């Protein structure tokens, strides 16, 4: 198999290595490398396709549909890990993301942009699927919440650098799309290639199942993933769109919101990780979903009551912070999972998370035309659904104790 010539090392043996060669440092480098390409691609996309390729709403709609297909098909990771080690697959996916980003401006036609979007999306979604699996396999359960918080902060720092450099240099040096896409994608490729050659192949103590895993006892995790994906689509598609459509935000103002979000994530993600370790997944997810319900209702209030731009911008940042608590869902699954199920379930969960992405933006787009507030009220309803589901998580989840119902069944005398 690919990568067999590189030295293999189990996780216990890896503890004797310098920190810069340990599995956690590899996760940090990967978390840093991905946003350099992806954040830059996202920041320039709308301006690029309109100014260079002459896109209208029709082409943009097709682009986002194509972009979500690989997320829906993330279950293909299960087939690939039969032939390619997860660590190698994750880094190859990262290289694909970077390479497709680097080449974006060289194919400024509708077909070329769609093809490169598909390739970069395959890289992004397959990287994210494998990365989640490796995080849960390589990070000790006791340290997982805080370590995941620091990994989130590292990704936010990379995004902050990408957005900050764009704001400072785009007009000052009259940069071209070709140069920025090539530089950002190239940096991601170089970091991923370095990781591929520099780090040993880390062996986990539990070989992963190479077939699709759907277990009845994971039903609550599946349900939370589905509703989370649906709710996130509303935020991703419509929250920033509202800032532009209703309040006339320009590119630099939207970018400023992104910068504020990433600074806040850098500060609060490690603290959120610590809080999950102290208070548990149940309480933190309940807190997240109560907060999201109030935020989405307030979004609706902007239309019903005519609230202003300052509140809207504040809600956008707070919304993003609540979403940063979502890694509590990862640590919940880590605690209930059979260790051999982590890789295939990560792929299945990613597919479940993207089911709504296939149809929801189109359906809600028609709702938006008639009543933008109703879209956010629907999102509040999804947040309430997540809140109800999160109340079924036990205080101390573990195999056989995945939900409060499983506990009642296991201990009928209580």
Helix or strand (DSSP H, E) at 125? helix 110-138
State the pLDDT at residue 57: 61
State the pLDDT at residue 222: 96
In a domain, 407, yes or no: no
In a domain, 320, yes or no: yes
Whether residue 227 is found in the same domain as residue 183: no
Whether residue 199 is found in the same domain as residue 345: no
In a domain, 410, yes or no: no
Helix or strand (DSSP H, E) at 408? helix 404-410
In a domain, 241, yes or no: yes
Token readout for 77 is 């990771």
In a domain, 120, yes or no: yes
**φ and ψ at 394, to 5 degrees?**
-70, 160
Whether residue 371 is found in the same domain as residue 252: yes
Where is the domain boundary, 141, 175, 203?
Answer: 203
Whether residue 226 is found in the same domain as residue 198: no
3-class SS of residue 2: strand
Q: Is the pLDDT of residue 1 over 80?
A: no
Q: Among 96-100, 232-236, 384-388, whose mean pLDDT is lowest?
A: 232-236
Residue 413: pLDDT band by 50, 70, 90 thresholds?
very low
Whether residue 239 is found in the same domain as residue 93: no
Q: How many CB atoms lie within 10 A of CB 182?
A: 17
Whether residue 194 is found in the same domain as residue 259: no
Q: Is the pLDDT of residue 411 over 50?
A: no
In a domain, 191, yes or no: yes
**For the chain, percent of residues with pLDDT exceeding 90:** 61
State the pLDDT at residue 383: 95
Do 201 and 85 form a contact (C-beta atoms < 8 A)?
yes
Q: What CATH number should be reported for the domain holding residue 134?
A: 1.20.1250.20
Q: Is the pLDDT of residue 410 over 50?
A: no
**202 conformational bin, left if phi > 0, alpha if psi -120 to 50, beta if neither:** beta
Mean pLDDT, rounded, for 166-175: 85
* H-only helix segments in 215-354: 219-234, 240-247, 251-305, 309-323, 327-336, 342-353
In a domain, 107, yes or no: yes
Residue 243: pLDDT band by 50, 70, 90 thresholds?
confident
Where is the domain boundary, 203, 237, 263?
Answer: 203
| pLDDT tens digits, 23-42 | 999 999 999 999 999 999 98
What are the DSSP calls for 321-349, one per residue?
HHHGGGHHHHHHHHHHS-GGGHHHHHHHH
Mean pLDDT, rounded, for 6-18: 88
Q: Is the pLDDT of residue 414 over 50?
A: no
| pLDDT tens digits, 40-50 | 998 788 788 87
Range of the structural domain that residue 366 is part of: 216-392
Whether residue 64 is found in the same domain as residue 154: yes
Whether residue 160 is found in the same domain as residue 243: no
Tracing tokens 């069944």 back to the chain, one arrives at: 409
* H-only helix segments in 1-109: 11-14, 23-51, 57-72, 77-80, 86-102
């Amino acid at each position: 198999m690919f990568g067999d010539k590189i030295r293999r090392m189990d996780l216990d043996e890896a503890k004797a290595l310098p920190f810069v060669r340990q599995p956690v440092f590899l996760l940090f480098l990967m978390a840093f490398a991905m946003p350099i390409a992806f954040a830059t691609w996202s920041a320039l996309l709308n301006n690029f396709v309109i100014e260079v390729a002459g896109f209208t709403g029709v082409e943009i709609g097709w682009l986002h549909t194509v972009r979500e297909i690989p997320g829906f098909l993330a279950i293909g990771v299960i087939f690939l890990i039969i032939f390619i080690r997860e660590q190698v697959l994750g880094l190859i996916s990262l290289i694909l993301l970077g390479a497709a980003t680097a080449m974006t401006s060289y194919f400024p036609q509708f077909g070329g942009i769609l093809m490169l979007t598909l390739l970069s999306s395959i890289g992004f979604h397959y990287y994210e699927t494998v990365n989640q699996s490796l995080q849960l396999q390589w990070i000790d359960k006791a340290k997982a919440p805080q370590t995941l918080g620091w990994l989130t902060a590292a990704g936010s720092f990379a995004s902050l650098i990408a957005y900050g450099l764009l704001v400072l240099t785009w007009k000052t040096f009259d940069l071209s799309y070709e140069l920025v896409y090539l530089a950002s994608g190239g940096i991601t490729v170089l970091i991923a290639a370095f990781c591929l050659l520099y780090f040993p192949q880390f062996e986990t103590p539990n070989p992963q199942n190479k077939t699709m895993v759907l277990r009845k006892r994971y039903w609550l995790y599946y349900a939370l993933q589905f509703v989370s994906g649906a709710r996130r689509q509303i935020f991703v598609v419509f929250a920033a769109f509202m800032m532009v459509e209703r309040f006339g935000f320009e590119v630099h103002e939207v970018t400023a919101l992104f910068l504020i979000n990433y600074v806040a994530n850098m500060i609060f993600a490690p603290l959120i990780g610590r809080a999950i370790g102290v208070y548990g997944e149940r309480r933190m997810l309940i807190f997240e979903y109560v907060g999201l319900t109030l935020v989405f209702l307030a979004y609706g209030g902007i239309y019903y009551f005519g609230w202003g731009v300052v509140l809207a911008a504040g809600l956008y940042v707070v919304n993003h912070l609540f979403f940063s608590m979502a890694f509590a869902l990862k640590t919940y699954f880590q605690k209930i999972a059979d260790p051999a199920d982590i890789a295939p379930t990560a792929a299945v969960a990613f597919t479940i998370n993207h089911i709504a992405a296939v149809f929801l933006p189109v359906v809600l787009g028609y709702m938006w035309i008639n009543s933008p507030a109703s879209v956010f009220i629907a999102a509040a309803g999804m947040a309430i659904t997540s809140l109800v589901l999160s109340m079924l998580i036990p205080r101390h989840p573990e195999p056989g104790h995945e939900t409060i119902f499983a506990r009642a069944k296991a201990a009928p005398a209580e």
